[in-house]
Each structure stands twice: as C-alpha cells, then as structure tokens.
Structure 1
C-alpha cells in the first residue's frame, strides 16, 4: 500500500514537472500594440510601440532603431527628430524560441500649407552675411537694410551681398511647392543690352527636415547653365582678412590663389562687414562661376549667363519680359551633384557666385537682391 502510494506521488510530481517544462518551452506568444508593417509618423511627435504576452508567459524584449538597440523593456517611444525612413525591429525571446517583427516608419518633411492669409513674398530674413564690398557697412549692405527686402518687390529696396560667397537666407510664411516649371522668382537690378551688367548669384534651397523652423538642414544648389562648365569650380573656399580701415581687403583661397578687393574713392570706409561674427577673417564657400568681366568699346561690362542665376539679365529665362530670374526647384542637386527630388522647400539662400573685383570705377561684382516671390501663389 505504501509502495503504491509512493508510486502515485512520483507519477504526480513527474506530470507536474513535465507540464512546467512544456510551459517553458513554448516560444513567445506576442501581442503587438501596432500590428502593421508600415506606418507614417511625424517629426517631433511621439509614437509608442509596445509588446505584450497573450498567454501570460514572460519573455525578453529587444527593440532596435536602424540597427541600434534602443530598448530592452516591453515598449519603445519613438520621436523622430527629422524627416526620413526609419526601420524599427522588435524581438521577443525565451529558451524555446524567438518572435520578430519589423516596422518601416516613414516620416515626411513637415509642410506649412498656404492659407488665405499667406503672402507670396519674403516674410523672414534668417541670416545676412555679405563678403567685403563697396556697399557693405552702408544702408545697402547692413543688417537693417536686409530686412527691407521683406514683402512686396515693387518697392525700391536692395541688399548687396558683396564679393564672392556673401549671402542672404530668407523664407516665406509657408512651404513653397515644387510645381511644373519655375517655382521661385528672385529680383535684382541687372542691365541688359549690348552693355550688359550682371552680377550672378547662385540660389540654394533647403527643407525644414527637423521641423524647428530654422535653416539648419542640408542645402541643395539649383544647378544653372554653368554648373557643368569646366571653368566652374565646385567646393570653392575663400578667406578674407579684415584690414580694419579704409584699405584693400586681401584674400586667399583653397586653390592656392590670393588677391585683393580694392577700395575706391566713392565709398571711403572699411569694406569688410563690421557686423560679421569674426572681425579678423571671414571664410565663405560655394560654387565659383567664371568671370565675365570685360569691355565693350570704352564701357565696362559683366555678361550674364544663359539661365539659373539671379541678378542676371539672362536670355534663357527671358529676363527682359519677366523682370526677374526664375528658378525651378527640380534643378536641385546635392553636394555630390546628384539630382534630388524635393516636393517642397522652406528656405532660400542666395550668394555672390563670381570672384571679380572689377575696378575702382565700377567696384566689385556683388549680387544684389531686391526681393523674391513664390510663383505658385498668384
């Protein structure tokens, strides 16, 4: 009797052990809060991913964002800091097996839509940093002067960007849409005809990828007619030295060159921007277009390029009719020259694209900007 009872107890214990063993060997039975494979999120907005158990049995959690471990608990709060495509991988594991799920999360570039109150003209100047030039530190080359190109382009305000690399960054009160044909109009003061006077500026655009309202994301050049000209120099860099008075401004570049921007008797002041953050030297970068400075008879001229540059009486974009230079966002290329597809842009940068000091009669070639317009708003 005792022997039978003992055998019965042993059988019960064996059965209980067997059941517990079977329970441990069950692979994770996971209940995901988000069950889809692909979803869309927003910049700076939290999306919570989480995983639970369907049968009450525990397991380990592992979350990866683009291959890097970001959480080892049941949930992961994803707040993208900029637009892009992200891969989130979840793994549940125990001694019996694993469960995996991969999410593809698309985060579009934030877009500020047009409203009935929107204006087609510049609404904000984000930055103005000219290179040395004859108008710099005068009304035409001042921080206050830069603010005057905000709004309707019918007014007479102009801002000078000085020599090569001097720039201005501006934006609208909405995102500019990449429509068919030209999307932007930028106004300057070029002269056409046989005695042309162009001061070509390159235009760059950027999207507010991180959604912070600041032009601190990647810039793209709108490649004009001279982008592939063998005389055009990409990744050009020039450094100006402050003479700290009425004297020629010396420069050196990353091509082994050096020279001066010369003062003249029409503007007796320091040509170096006295509001630049560094009052010792100023380094500016960009694409350097070849000089077109010369003479027609006794008259000094600076010829325009065919299309794709501002402050240029260009034949290719019919400046004579339009009275502005037109720009298509579809011309955008990245820093390697690869074409990029931008549905919208939020920021525009214009900089002087020739390094030409001219002479003491005419002064240097310095792009001037009168204003800009979103051609998508009539």
Structure 2
C-alpha cells in the first residue's frame, strides 16, 4: 500500500469519526436548566415595577417570558409593570439542547390605598368600599423592611397596624376573590422616642416595710409631690426602685410611644430588684431568692388622649394566673404548708395603725398587731412591723384611714428552707410577672400576646401604651417581712434592639 493511499484512507476515517461525534453530541441532551430565585406569587401595585431576576442552574440557550400567554421578553431578567389591576400569570421558559423547562409565577396587581404614620404608633387601616359589610376580611403584610410590626384584625374591613422600623409596608386585604393592596409609609417622628418609661400616672402602695422610704416621704408631702418623686425615680434611662408595698399596692406608668406587639417575641419588661439565693439549703432547687412577683396589666391608648382613663385594661396572664400547680416549686410548697390558693376576685382592706412605736427605748422592736386587715374571704388579721424599719408602713400622705385594693392574689411562693425561721427563699413563677426574675434574665421579658380580657379570653393587641403593676402575693416571711413588689424602669425591648423569643403558655 503506497503512502498516498494510506493518507486517503486515514483522512476518510477521521472525517467519519468527526461526523459520528457531531451526530452523537447533537443527539445527547444537556442537563436541564433549573429555575430558582423567584417566588410562586407576588403582590404589586398598579404602575409599580417588580424586577424578576431568577437564578438559572446549568447552561441555557434562551429564556423567554410570557404574560397571560403573550410573549413579553427574551432575557435573563424581566421588569414586570402593568397599568391595570388584576391577576397575571407570568411563565418563564428556559431552553437548552434537548430541554424545555417552565416556571409559572402568579402576580396580583392591585390599586394602592396609601396611608402614612410614624414608628411605634397605632394606625387604623380601612379597606376600600367594596369590602363593606364583609366579616371574613383577611389582612396580611406581604412586604416589609423588617419583622418588627403588628397588624391586628378580627375579620372586619378595618385593622390596627403599628411598626418599629421605618419604611414601606405592603398590606394585602382580601375577602374571597376581592383583593386590594395598601401601602403604609412609616416614618420616624420629629421628636425622638425613648425605649424607657416616660411618665407615671398613678401610685398607691399598700402598707409595707419600705413604704415612705422608696420613695422617701417628707413632712408635708402630698399625693402630687410623691408622684413627682416616683417619676424622678423610675422615668428615663438612669433609674432606681420604688416599692409597691404589700398585696395590691400599685403604680401606673406609660411610654412616649406604643410598644409594638411583635409576633414570636417578648416585647417589654418592667425592672425590679429580684435576685437569686446564694446558699439555698434545698438540693437542686428551682430559681428562687428574693422573687416578689407583681401582676402586670396593660392597655393601649384607644381614645388617643395620652391618658389611661377610659381605655380597657388587660391582664398579662402569667404562669400562676389560676393555679401554681405547674410551678417547679409546687410540691415543696405543699410540704411547707404555704397558702397555695389563687384568688381571682380578691379584695383586701388595710386600716391605718393606731400605734407606731412598741414602747421600747430604741423604738424598733417588732409590733405583731400593727396594721389590721380584712379580706372578702371572711378572714382578718394584722400585718407585722419588723425590727429593721421603724417608719410608718402606712403611706403617710394618704388621708383615708382605710385602703382597699382589688385584683388577683397569687399563691404564696416563700418558704423557710432552714426550718428554723432563719433562711427564707421566695421562688420565681415560670413567667409573666415583674420583679420575678433578675432584669438581665430573658425570663423577665413580657409578651403582649399573653394578654387576656376580664373574662380570661386571649386578645389580639397591636401594642400597648400603659402598664399597671401591683403586688401579687400576700405573705409574711418571718424576719424578712412581707412580699412587696419593687419596680424600676419599664423598657421597650424592640426599640432597645433586644430579641428575646417568647413561649407559648
């Protein structure tokens, strides 16, 4: 075989192999494209732009967009914008060798009903007239600059909205096939807001060993001057503590804004002076020490007059609201034979003491029959004056000789763990109270979603403006004295950037 023939033979074989490879390559499909990075549905307003920019995995030769069956674009991204309200089906079709892949997106286009408000302010939203008379109206946030917002509704064409973060919030309103979109523009108010207590509206402690000391009573003080002292003590960032005295004593405070009820988070806390015991002789005890739980009531400024006057109060339903049976110290309390009754409609009346000194030279020996009390359970007795505090335990600025308080009386939580009257431990309830855990403990945080109405029904509050705290336990703890809730500043956790997950009771 000569060289020329060999060359022609080799050349023919090479052409055949190349042709075969091309044919095989043409017949073998590539890996199919995968379309991700876009949602199945969107909500947008008339004439607003929505940039759709999908992520395409694997090679693609062409990306075609159709809107309601009409070809709209051939590009890697598409800027959707229409002038008419309605529902639009957008189909993305990706092509490569041997593959055609589609993804369908539904875009609801509505006409905006725009409103404007400030951060941490309750705004009433109203749906358009076409929703009039509907009782199945659904409200939902479909676009927001953060998760720190709340929309509260009960099926009506109106809803309450508040947000912590400025920006634009898109709200979808729907009832059956009826759909609208509202745009709420949230701005920062001109006057800066504080996360801490801004005002004290009322204060009346029940008799207790720190009354007339926290704050300090001075001769001539009136209700107004004492209220000013309370305000100076617990308003603002740098604060101390006031006492609420024995069971029922209370304080009412407010903020310069609405504390937003953010879903899934604890929203605020009321500081106290609770702390844990250092040397509890009980082995492996639950948290306890000086825990003097204050019951918390909340309200929002429904009439928008800045005062807690005609606004409804709601109870923050704590873990001991109806019974202490689920508290970790319950079994020990049975053994200790403390009063474990929870009394929901309790009343207690204190009498001004007839005698302040026991007739001893130092004037600080205890007085067992000091302040007489009666309750609506047919019981009566006396509060003790101990050896550590010689001032009057009855609020000296109060002119009335009797003080009556009403509310919920929690189970007693204090136990003599020494068995000799020398070491008392006041145990914490699981959640829901002031002065119950140390302030830096997450369990001191309060979720507004724990609020219930006077009938015990859960309520859906957009936020709160006012807080009332009153001493929840009526108990004498030997030389330690009575349970008395102490209160410091209140704090909006969201404005402070503190994220504490809630629990579901």
CA contact under 8 A between 2:214 and 2:241: conserved in structure 1?
no
Which residues in structure 2 correspond to 1:315-354 (within 5 Å)? Answer: 319=438, 321-322=440-441, 325-354=444-473
What residue in structure 2 maps to residue 197 of structure 1? 290
Structure 1 CA distance for aligned equivalents of residues 192 and 464 of structure 2: 19
TM-score, normalised with respect to structure 1: 0.65
Matched, 1:136 2:254: no
The alpha carbon displacement at 1:269 in A equals 2.5
Equivalent in 430, 440, 447 of residue 306 of structure 1: 430
Structure 2 CA distance for aligned equivalents of residues 235 and 334 of structure 1: 14
Structure 1 CA distance for aligned equivalents of residues 485 and 445 of structure 2: 16
Which residues in structure 2 correspond to 1:62-77 (within 5 Å)? Answer: none
The unaligned stretches of length 5 or more in structure 2 are 1-114, 116-152, 165-186, 218-225, 281-288, 325-340, 357-366, 497-505
Call closer, same or farther: CA 1:141–1:111 in 2, change over 3 Å: farther
- CA distances 1:45-87 after superposition (whole Å, capped 9, x unpaired): xxxxxxxxxxxxxxxxxxxxxxxxxxxxxxxxxxxxxxxx9xx
Structure 2 CA distance for aligned equivalents of residues 290 and 310 of structure 1: 15
My pick for the range that moved more, 225-234 or 282-291, is 225-234
The alpha carbon displacement at 1:110 in A equals 10
Look up the SS of the partner of 1:251 in the other structure: strand
CA contact under 8 A between 1:161 and 1:368: conserved in structure 2?
yes
Look up the SS of the partner of 1:140 in the other structure: coil
TM-score, normalised with respect to structure 2: 0.49
Which residues in structure 2 correspond to 1:170-319 (within 5 Å)? Answer: 170-180=253-263, 181-193=265-277, 195=280, 196-216=289-309, 217-229=311-323, 231-246=341-356, 248-276=370-398, 278-297=399-418, 298-313=422-437, 319=438
Call closer, same or farther: CA 1:111–1:219 in 2, change over 3 Å: farther
What residue in structure 2 maps to residue 80 of structure 1? none
The unaligned stretches of length 5 or more in structure 1 are 1-39, 41-84, 86-103, 314-318
Structure 1 CA distance for aligned equivalents of residues 424 and 319 of structure 2: 23
Call closer, same or farther: CA 1:269–1:372 in 2, change over 3 Å: same
Structure 2 CA distance for aligned equivalents of residues 293 and 306 of structure 1: 15
The alpha carbon displacement at 1:260 in A equals 1.7
Structure 1 CA distance for aligned equivalents of residues 494 and 163 of structure 2: 15
The alpha carbon displacement at 1:322 in A equals 2.9
CA contact under 8 A between 2:251 and 2:468: conserved in structure 1?
yes
Structure 2 CA distance for aligned equivalents of residues 328 and 251 of structure 1: 34
Structure 1 CA distance for aligned equivalents of residues 158 and 436 of structure 2: 40
Larger radius of gyration: 2
CA contact under 8 A between 1:330 and 1:342: conserved in structure 2?
yes
Structure 1 CA distance for aligned equivalents of residues 429 and 468 of structure 2: 19
The alpha carbon displacement at 1:242 in A equals 0.9
Structure 1 CA distance for aligned equivalents of residues 304 and 163 of structure 2: 9
Call closer, same or farther: CA 1:169–1:372 in 2, change over 3 Å: same
- CA distances 1:240-260 after superposition (whole Å, capped 9, x unpaired): 111154161111111111122
Structure 2 CA distance for aligned equivalents of residues 145 and 133 of structure 1: 18
- CA distances 1:255-311 after superposition (whole Å, capped 9, x unpaired): 1111222112322222111223x5211111111101112122241111111111111
What residue in structure 1 maps to residue 199 of structure 2? 124
Call closer, same or farther: CA 1:178–1:323 in 2, change over 3 Å: closer
CA contact under 8 A between 2:271 and 2:439: conserved in structure 1?
no
CA contact under 8 A between 1:186 and 1:324: conserved in structure 2?
no
Look up the SS of the partner of 2:372 in the other structure: strand
RMSD across aligned positions (CA):
2.8
What residue in structure 2 maps to residue 46 of structure 1? none
